[in-house]
């Protein structure tokens, strides 16, 4: 295994500091490529594939995972040439949880070194920015409506102190303004509209919360939840679910599974991938079965 670790040296938090203190324990078996700006991880990942590394380790949270994943896609035949591994240093680490990876650094690194692989589905979002078509891949989750608006309003310094509570506060703030209706059309013919649409490749959303209870990483399908209304109760259900690790879906929520779907809105509406705003509607989501190779425990 030729491994390359992509890591943000300015990352904050106890896990990041611990990683930096013991970086030689990790980089003794791998090459460390530090980032120097947002988005740099994507370029470093593409470069690493070109240099012949067959395992790319995203050392960070879900945003870092997304950068490395898309960097692999930028290299010719990247997904055939390299596997994705996750060293969870972030606040939430949703994809690491989905893969059942240890959340502590030493056992997580041992799992990476063991190199047990698995093929999972590879979802993508196709949209337009500045008149140009774009495609961006994601591993775990996407959304539009209340959650994407809340992400736009998150105080990131506050998040470093209070973690998930920052999203709850931002969600309540998002309700103060108008939330456009988001339309969802699935390739299966199913359709619905609402103030929030969540899309999952795996079961978890926002942490250890199994919102997408029928989802599997290797079933060739995306799971879709459409919430007709968005209220303070919607936000509090999420907060309660995060605390209890139980899902409290509203009765009027629609749940679909589809290999592709399109989200639209008559007003400006952003969408998010892995907890970061990625673009604006309309957007079409598709999935390629078994196209992404990952390391699991």
CA 139 – CA 222 distance, rounded (Å) = 11
Contact 234, 225 (CB under 8 A): no
CATH topology of domain 124-290: Tumour Suppressor Smad4 (2.60.200)
The three-point CA angle 183-184-190 to 5° equals 130
**Sign of the Cα pseudo-torsion (194, 200, 206, 212, in order):** positive
CA 57 – CA 7 distance, rounded (Å) = 9
Q: Which CATH superfamily groups domain 3-115?
A: Probable inorganic polyphosphate/atp-NAD kinase; domain 1 (3.40.50.10330)
Measure Cα distances from 77 to 68, 161, 197 in Å: 15, 40, 32
Which residues does residue 117 pair with via DSSP β-bridges, in sequence order?
295
Give pLDDT tens digits along the chain (297 positions). 899 999 987 766 777 778 877 777 766 779 999 999 889 999 999 999 999 999 999 999 999 999 999 999 999 999 999 999 999 998 889 999 999 999 998 899 999 999 999 999 999 999 999 999 999 999 999 999 999 999 999 876 655 665 677 788 888 899 999 999 999 999 999 999 999 999 999 999 988 899 999 999 999 999 999 999 998 988 888 778 777 888 888 889 999 999 999 999 999 999 999 999 999 999 999 999 999 999 998
The whole-number pLDDT of residue 260 equals 98
Domain locations along the chain: 3-115, 124-290
Query: What's the token pair of residue 240?
Result: 């309660």
The whole-number pLDDT of residue 159 equals 59
CA 247 – CA 30 distance, rounded (Å) = 39
How much is the pTM? Answer: 0.93
Q: Is the N-terminal amide bond of 282 cis, ω within 30° of 0?
A: yes
The whole-number pLDDT of residue 255 equals 97
Residue spans of beta strands (DSSP E) within the chain: 3-7, 31-34, 55-60, 83-88, 117-129, 132-137, 141-145, 182-186, 191-194, 196-200, 222-227, 254-258, 260-264, 270-273, 276-280, 283-295
């Amino acid at each position: 295994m030729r491994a390359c670790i992509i890591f943000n040296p300015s990352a904050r938090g106890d896990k990041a500091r611990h990683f930096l203190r013991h970086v030689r324990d990790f980089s003794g078996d791998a090459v460390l490529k530090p980032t120097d700006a947002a988005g740099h991880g994507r370029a470093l990942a593409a470069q690493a594939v070109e240099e012949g590394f067959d395992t790319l380790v995203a050392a960070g949270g879900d945003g870092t995972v997304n950068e490395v994943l898309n960097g692999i896609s930028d290299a010719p035949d990247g997904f055939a040439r390299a596997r994705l591994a996750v060293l969870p240093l972030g606040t939430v680490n949703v994809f690491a949880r989905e893969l059942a990876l240890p959340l502590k650094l030493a056992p997580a690194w041992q799992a990476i070194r063991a190199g047990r692989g698995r093929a999972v589905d590879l979802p993508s979002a196709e949209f337009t920015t500045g008149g140009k078509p774009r495609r961006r891949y994601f591993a775990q989750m996407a959304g539009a409506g209340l959650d994407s608006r809340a992400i736009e309003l998150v105080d990131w310094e506050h998040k470093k102190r209070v973690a998930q509570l920052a999203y709850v506060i931002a969600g309540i703030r998002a309700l103060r303004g108008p939330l456009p209706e988001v339309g969802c059309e699935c390739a299966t013919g199913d359709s619905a509209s609402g103030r929030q649409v969540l899309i999952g490749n795996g079961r978890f959303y926002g942490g250890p919360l199994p919102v997408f209870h029928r989802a599997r990483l290797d079933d060739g399908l995306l799971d879709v939840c459409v919430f007709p209304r968005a209220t303070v109760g919607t936000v509090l259900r999420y907060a309660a679910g995060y605390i209890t690790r139980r899902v409290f879906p509203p009765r009027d929520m629609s749940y679909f599974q589809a290999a592709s779907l399109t989200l639209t809105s008559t007003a400006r509406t952003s969408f998010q991938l892995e907890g970061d705003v990625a673009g604006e509607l309309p957007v079409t989501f598709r999935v390629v079965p078994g196209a992404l190779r990952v390391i699991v425990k």
